[in-house]
Every structure is written in C-alpha cells, then in structure tokens.
C-alpha cells in the first residue's frame, strides 16, 4: 500500500511526520539547514531557544494580533511560562516560526529570554501550507479570513473542498458555506470583516444578486438589528414576492429599520404586523422594570 504524503494530513500529523527530514533535504538549500548553536535541550524533542534567535515567518497569513488578548496571554506566560512549545525550522542561522507566533509575541512582551520550541525541518511548500492550516484552525478567525485561507489552499495546492475540510478539521458543508461568502459584494464582505455582520446573516444574502439590495439588507441586519431568522424571511419574501404577497404582506426595509430602532431604544422585543400604510406595532415587556423603563422613555418623549 502506498504511504500517504505528509501534506495530506492535518496540522498535528504534519508536525509529527517522521519523514519530513528526507523531504526537506531534497527540497531545501544549504542556508536553510544551518542551525544556530545556542540551544538548550529540554527533552521529549523540545528545545529551549533564545528569543533573539527566533524570527517570524514573513509569509504568515495572519497579519493582525489582538493587543488585549496578547497582553492577557503575556500575563499568563509571565506567571506560568509557555505551556505549549512553538514549532520552528532552521533558517539562515536563526529559527523561523512555523506555528505559534502569537505565543512568541506574548513571550517577548513578558520579557522572556528563551522559550520552548520543537525544531522541525520542512520544505518551503510545507512551511506555507502548515502556516495556512494553523491560521485556519484559530478559534477567533473572522469568517472572511477563513474563506480566503480556504480558497488559497484550494488554489495553490489544487485541493478539493473535501481535502481542505479534512486538513482543517471542518465539515465539507462548512467549507462550502465559507467559500460562498466570497461571492458577496465588497461592501457586505467588509461588514463581515468588521464583525458587524455574522457569517449566518451574510450567508442568507448570497442569493440576493442585486448589489444595492444585498447591501441594503446587510445594513438593516448589521450590528445585531435582525436575527438570522428575520433576515432569512426577509430575503425569501424579496426573492418570491408573488408567493408571499397574499399570505404575508412584506414589511418594507424602512419599517424594519424603525422596528430595529425601537428595539434598541426600548431594549426589548418589538414587532410589527402590517405594512407602511396600516398595521400594529407591539412592544413586549417581561418584568416591572421593563415597563418602568418604557414608561420613563415615553415620559421623556412627551416633554
């Protein structure tokens, strides 16, 4: 049976691949295999490396790091040390980070002089792919960043959606949904990048092909002003107006925006039945405090 290539495995398997040495020596130049000498052996394949000998990967897909989160991790490292070693590869007399740049940055903030690392030898192609896969496995990854990383993996490594799903530990439908986000217009994509529109909301807008209508829906739903179910319903009505005209007269975007504003002001659920010409608006309250708050707001408006 033919043995699978390390590139067909997930990140954890790639980092433990015992065949990487042979592949590396076949593909890398002499500069990359030159190792620094200022390394202390910790054991279990982990080295203690001076931070000054570690360099970031210039091709790291992740360019921005949350400063608050870095400071919190730095405080933890200052107290408990680096619990999980980073992964590096020898490069031009230094060690280039393959996985763990966030831990490296936090360790520098904590003013550590050395940090634990696992030294591995990878080809340039493997380095790039591992960096992409590690980036895609971040918990705080923005949906658009994830979609772009998936597309890059598919384009550069000729991967199918199934192969990408296996490598990053996600389902194939999840990969498909990420890629669909890239078909949205640029202004809507920007709202998702800014975390003003969730992936769930954005996914509902993929079927809205008119750019102006798509953006209008996106702005109406942004910043939590509409639930995913609300935007799904609004898009269904927009795409099939004849089907819903008699059964459920559609609420205009302007009326929806009014309802959203009322919900924000009263800090409770507000719903409308009808249309721009005739209907009812319901304001819910669940406690006496809710009712008192609404009463106070109405009193201010009367003045």
Tens digit of pLDDT at every position of the chain (303 positions): 434 333 334 444 444 443 333 343 333 333 333 444 455 555 557 899 999 999 998 877 777 788 898 999 999 999 999 999 999 999 989 999 998 999 999 999 999 999 999 999 888 888 888 888 887 877 678 899 899 999 988 998 888 999 999 988 889 999 999 999 999 999 999 999 999 999 999 999 999 999 999 999 999 999 988 899 999 988 998 888 777 665 556 678 888 888 888 988 888 888 887 777 778 888 988 888 888 888 998 888 887
Closest Cα partner for 123 from 157, 165, 152? Answer: 157
Query: Are 35 and 93 part of one and the same domain?
Result: yes
Query: Are 240 and 265 part of one and the same domain?
Result: no
Query: Are 241 and 225 part of one and the same domain?
Result: yes
Q: What pLDDT was estimated at residue 177?
A: 94
Judge contact between 203 and 144, C-beta under 8 A: no
Query: Are 295 and 203 part of one and the same domain?
Result: no
Q: What is the CATH number of the domain that holds 79?
A: 3.90.1530.30
Q: Determine, yes or no, domain membership for 265.
A: yes
Q: What pLDDT was estimated at residue 268?
A: 87
Q: Could you say which of 210, 231, 250 is where a domain stops? A: 250
Judge contact between 166 and 113, C-beta under 8 A: no
Q: Determine, yes or no, domain membership for 187.
A: no
Closest Cα partner for 214 from 195, 194, 197, 229? Answer: 197
Q: Could you say which of 90, 124, 158 is where a domain stops? A: 124
Query: Are 25 and 63 part of one and the same domain?
Result: yes
The number of folded domains in the chain is 3
Which DSSP string do the residues of 213-251 spell out, in sequence order?
HHHHHHHHHGGGTS-HHHHHHHHHHHH-HHHHHTTSPPP
Which DSSP string do the residues of 47-108 spell out, in sequence order?
EEEEGGGEE--TT-S-----HHHHHHHHHHHHHH--SS-EEEEEETTEEEEEE-HHHHHHHH
Catalytic residue among 101, 129, 134, 145: 101
Q: What is the dihedral of CA 84, 89, 92, 97, to 10 degrees?
A: -40
Q: What pLDDT was estimated at residue 105?
A: 95
Domain, as residue range, for 275: 257-303
Query: Are 289 and 207 part of one and the same domain?
Result: no
Q: Determine, yes or no, domain membership for 149.
A: no
Structure tokens at 138: 């971040």
Residue with tokens 């309802």: 259
Q: Determine, yes or no, domain membership for 153.
A: no
Q: What pLDDT was estimated at residue 271?
A: 84
Q: Determine, yes or no, domain membership for 178.
A: no
DSSP state of 158: -
Query: Are 238 and 261 part of one and the same domain?
Result: no
Half-sphere exposure of 122 (CA within 13 A, CB side): 28
Tell me how far apart the alpha carbons of residues 193 and 248 are, in angstroms, rounded to a whole number: 34
Instruction: Tell me whether residue 139 is one of the annotated catalytic residues.
Output: no
**Rounded percentage of the chain residues whose pLDDT exceeds 70:** 83
Tell me how far apart the alpha carbons of residues 224 and 148 are, in angstroms, rounded to a whole number: 24
Tell me how far apart the alpha carbons of residues 274 and 280 are, in angstroms, rounded to a whole number: 6
Q: What pLDDT was estimated at residue 3?
A: 40
Q: Determine, yes or no, domain membership for 132.
A: no
Query: Are 227 and 298 part of one and the same domain?
Result: no
Query: Are 244 and 278 part of one and the same domain?
Result: no
Q: Determine, yes or no, domain membership for 146.
A: no
Q: What pLDDT was estimated at residue 29?
A: 37
Q: Could you say which of 81, 103, 124 is where a domain stops? A: 124
Q: What pLDDT was estimated at residue 16?
A: 44
Query: Are 236 and 265 part of one and the same domain?
Result: no
Query: Are 112 and 216 part of one and the same domain?
Result: no
Q: What pLDDT was estimated at residue 160?
A: 92
């Amino acid at each position: 049976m033919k043995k699978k290539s390390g590139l067909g495995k997930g990140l954890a398997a790639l980092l433990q691949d015992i065949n990487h040495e042979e592949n590396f020596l076949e593909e890398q130049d002499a500069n990359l295999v030159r190792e620094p000498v200022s390394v202390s052996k910790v054991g279990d394949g982990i080295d203690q490396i001076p931070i000054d000998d570690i360099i970031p990967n210039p091709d790291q897909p992740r360019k921005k790091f949350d400063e608050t989160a870095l400071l919190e991790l730095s405080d933890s490292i200052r107290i408990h040390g680096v619990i999980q070693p980073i992964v590096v590869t020898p490069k031009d007399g230094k060690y280039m980070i393959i996985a763990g740049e966030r831990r490296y940055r936090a360790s520098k903030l904590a003013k550590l002089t050395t940090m634990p690392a696992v030294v591995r030898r990878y080809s340039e192609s493997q380095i790039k792919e591992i960096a992409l896969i590690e980036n895609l496995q971040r918990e705080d990854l923005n949906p658009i960043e994830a979609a772009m990383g998936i597309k890059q993996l598919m384009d550069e490594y000729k991967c199918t959606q199934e192969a990408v799903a296996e490598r990053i530990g996600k389902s194939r439908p999840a990969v498909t949904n990420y890629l669909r986000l890239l078909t949205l217009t640029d202004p809507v994509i920007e709202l998702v990048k800014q975390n003003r529109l969730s992936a769930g909301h954005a996914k509902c807008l993929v079927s809205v092909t008119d750019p102006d209508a798509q953006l209008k829906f996106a702005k109406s739903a942004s910043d939590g002003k509409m639930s995913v179910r609300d935007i799904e319903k609004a898009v269904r009505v927009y795409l099939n107006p004849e089907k819903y005209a008699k059964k459920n007269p559609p609420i205009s975007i302007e009326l929806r925006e009014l309802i959203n504003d009322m919900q924000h002001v009263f800090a409770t659920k507000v719903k409308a039945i009808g249309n721009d010409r005739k209907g009812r608006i319901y304001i819910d309250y669940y406690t006496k405090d809710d009712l008192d708050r609404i009463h106070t707001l109405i009193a201010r408006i009367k003045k």
